Amino acid sequence: MRYPDSSHIKPRFISVDVEVTNFCSNGCAMCPREAIKRPAGVMTGDIFRELIHFLGESRCLLTFSGMGDPLANPMLPEFIRMARSAGHETGAVVHPASFLSHRGGMERLLECPPHSITVSFPSVQPTVFERLCPVITFESALNQVMTLREKVAGRSRIRVSGILTRLNMDEKNEFRAFWKKYDFPCWVTPCHSRGGNLANYELLMETQDRGLAKGFCSLFMFHTFIAWNGDILACCHDLDGSTSLGTVPELLTFRHLLTIKERMASIRPCPSFKLCSRCDEPLRNISLPMLPETGSPEARHRFFQKLAAASKRSK
């Protein structure tokens, strides 16, 4: 494995995933939920206000995602409203089953819609979908996606994401053709082990390289994960809190976090947590394009376009 050189790159605050809760009842086959050792809970309004202060003028892409179901936090509409008012581009990652498990969940999401909504829809093959997502049928899930688009009425961009597993390893073209038929932007990526925590390793298509001993994590350089309790973790795959870089109130602003990341980036491996040695996240070894100096939506968009192109070249 040839690892990318990051000596010319300084960390930037471009993308942030906010875990507004780590509760979820969707029961997806690939989720390592039973292995979570971090405390369980939901983000409060006070913590989110601290988070907005911490983000300051970063104008980052703030996505409501993580190890839980964002719709399980009743304050989600208020959080989106606060983030948008502070000038951040917002997104949310949701599962079709969430709209059924939370009464009024779709309406709550659209009370103050984020700029973009990513729907997790693992497979367009009904038998595979229902094996990966046992709490909802394929037909019902598809109906939820179509209803969502109807109710969004152009107020938010909807995208669909899928995964390739041993059950559907040749589905990429079929997945893209299916959603193109419905005029949905989409992408599909290989299932990975969630930092060695995957619930069912039989889903992986093949044995993947797990070492970061000679390299660094590309995601660590531009992406930040914040847990429901304000703990800033090196990775969303951290199930026990062992990669904590500090807390939102403790570090005061995002610039304090960048100082910590820059110091860590000068040492190999980066980061050097035990979790990283088991990681097979596809984006971890991407040779990054130059990170933007500003947090403008235009600069961020150009960066993600270049990142997508670099990801395709690495395959």
| Cα–Cα distance list, 119 to 14, 161, 187, 191, 246 (Å) | 22, 6, 11, 16, 30
In the chain, what are the domains? 15-313 (3.20.20.70)
Q: How far apart are CA 173 and CA 179, in angstroms?
A: 10
Residues 6+ apart with CB under 8 A from 261: 11, 220, 221, 245
314 residue type, one letter:
S
| Cα–Cα distance list, 147 to 80, 96, 123, 141, 173 (Å) | 21, 10, 19, 10, 25
The percent of the chain in helix, strand and coil, each rounded to the nearest 5, is 40, 15, 45
Are the beta carbons of 77 and 112 closer than 8 angstroms?
A: yes
Give the pLDDT of residue 115. Answer: 96
Give 272's pLDDT tier (boundaries 50, 70, 90). confident
Give the pLDDT of residue 93. Answer: 97
Q: In this predicted structure, which of 9-13, 250-254, 283-287 has the lowest mean pLDDT?
A: 283-287
Is it the case that residue 101 has pLDDT exceeding 90? Answer: no
Is it the case that residue 178 has pLDDT exceeding 60? Answer: yes
Q: How is residue 247 written in tokens? A: 């807390």
Give the pLDDT of residue 2. Answer: 43
Q: Give this prediction's pTM.
A: 0.92
In whole numbers, what is the pLDDT of the chain averaged over residues? 89
Q: Which residue has the higher pLDDT, 189 or 90?
A: 90
Is it the case that residue 276 has pLDDT exceeding 90? Answer: no
Phi/psi of residue 89, nearest 5 degrees = -75, 135
Q: Which residue has the higher pLDDT, 215 or 275?
A: 275
Phi/psi of residue 7, nearest 5 degrees = -60, -25
Give the pLDDT of residue 214. Answer: 54
Kindly report, residue by residue over 235-269, the tens digit of the pLDDT: 998 999 999 999 999 998 999 999 999 999 888 78
Give 295's pLDDT tier (boundaries 50, 70, 90). confident
Residues 6+ apart with CB under 8 A from 139: 126
In the chain, DSSP assigns E strands to 15-18, 61-64, 89-94, 116-120, 157-164, 186-190, 223-226, 231-233, 244-247
Give the pLDDT of residue 3. Answer: 41
Q: How far apart are CA 288 and CA 285, in angstroms?
A: 9
Give the pLDDT of residue 314. Answer: 65
Q: How far apart are CA 279 and CA 285, in angstroms?
A: 10
Is it the case that residue 292 has pLDDT exceeding 90? Answer: no
**Three-state SS for 85?**
helix
Q: In this predicted structure, which of 40-54, 167-181, 219-233, 270-284 has the lowest mean pLDDT?
A: 270-284
